[in-house]
Amino acid sequence: MENIDVMVLRSLRNWRLAGQRALLATVVRTWGSSPRPIGSIMALCETGAVVGSVSGGCIEDDLIYRFTQAYSTGQASGEDAVIPSGAPHRVKYGITADEAHRFGLPCGGTLELLLEFDPDAKQLDQLVMSLEQGQLMQRHTLLKDGSVSLQVSDMPTELSIDDVQLVNTFGPEYRMLLIGAGQLTEYLATMALFNGFAVTVCDPREEYRGAWSVPNVAITSEMPDDVVISFKPDRRSCVIALTHDPKLDDLALLEALETDAFYVGAIGSRRNNEARHVRMIEHLGKTEEELQRLRGPIGIYIGSKTPAEIAVSIMAEVLAVKNGVPLPRDMDVAHAKNSQDIAHNDPGVLVCGIR
């Protein structure tokens, strides 16, 4: 599954190019708990078709009712359509407890949407094409009349809105490069796709690559370190080695550590991870300081045994790092297993509240 923002904007573009009326809803402010973060978008066509989400579903239902009711009864066409024209409109949901309950918002939750009516089809087309080419784009919307301007951005920024304009940054997709095409990689790639990552798998071994079965994944047979260089990891990229083979993993990991990738890690036990550090220091001239960003053993500790469970563990850690969530040390695999070892060797030691 591709990046949800690109899906929303592409659908909105297609509706507008086909001459259909539509609106773009953006979450611009939240108070208390909110089902969707600031910057979330959804598009609504005059037919009632919806792509994207701004809540758990109740607010979407309200927008469909408010802006497509006449179409659904066969009364909407041209100027009679319920979706209006004109300047963007701001609307709040969940102001009262009763309204929060009605719209399925968490206790105390309130959110504000900006609704843009009939966004310009040509500008949407330009935005979508730029995102498909891997560009990071800022979209500026003037609140007085809904006019939009686009510009290429150097770095992701948080959504901002004032009395004059809304500025929202889109794309490019988060990317994941996986080294090794085994069963674990298939599970992890599938989870990454569902979370909106564009996935590339690298494995020069035909016996592994030939059995690959996950669609919508780019797969290459080049040597992993060369692939990392051509992949050009940036701050929206992660690189994960899954082969257990130093000949494939080590040089690729070192190349990845020279980039801005937000996550670089390798599968393996604590002993294998320690051996990897020793090889890189003694044979490849690296220092412990240079290896600080290298994660391993990767994943959060959930007692995983099967490839599917291990993939869940790894994906959870990747998403936590992506979202800037610091994980307690006792949640990572190495520290959790160390605690287990201590407990097994000394039954009197307290671990996680249990002796």
In the 8-state DSSP scheme, what is residue 289?
G
Q: What own/partner pairs with CB < 8 Å and gap ≥ 24 does 140-143 have?
A: 140/165, 140/166, 140/167, 141/88, 141/114, 141/116, 141/165, 141/166, 141/167, 141/168, 143/87, 143/88, 143/114
- Quote the pLDDT of residue 3: 75
> Is residue 17 scored above 90 in pLDDT?
yes
C-alpha–C-alpha distance, residues 232 and 170, integer Å: 19
> Is residue 352 scored above 80 in pLDDT?
no
Domain positions in the chain are: 4-122, 174-339
Neighbours of 252 (CB within 10 A): 25
Q: Which two tokens stand for residue 185?
A: 């990689």
Q: CATH number of 174-339: 3.30.450.20, 3.40.50.920, 3.40.50.720, 1.10.8.50?
A: 3.40.50.720
The verdict on whether omega for the bond into residue 297 sits within 30 degrees of 0, i.e. cis, is yes
User: In angstroms, what is the C-alpha Rg of the chain?
Assistant: 24
- Quote the pLDDT of residue 108: 57
In order of 101, 132, 244, 245, the CA distances from 204 in angstroms are 55, 28, 14, 12
C-alpha–C-alpha distance, residues 228 and 338, integer Å: 32
Q: Give the range among 152-156, 309-313, 321-325, 349-353 with minimum mean pLDDT.
A: 349-353
Banded model confidence at residue 331, pLDDT cuts 50, 70, 90? confident
- Quote the pLDDT of residue 76: 45
Q: pLDDT (tens digit, 9 = 90+) per residue, 139-158? A: 999 999 999 999 998 877 88
- Quote the pLDDT of residue 155: 78
- Quote the pLDDT of residue 13: 97
Residue whose structure tokens are 């809304």: 166
> Is residue 161 scored above 50 in pLDDT?
yes
> Is residue 105 scored above 70 in pLDDT?
no
Banded model confidence at residue 353, pLDDT cuts 50, 70, 90? very low
Q: Quick one: what percent of the chain has pLDDT higher than 70?
A: 85
- Quote the pLDDT of residue 240: 98
Model's pTM, two decimal places? 0.70
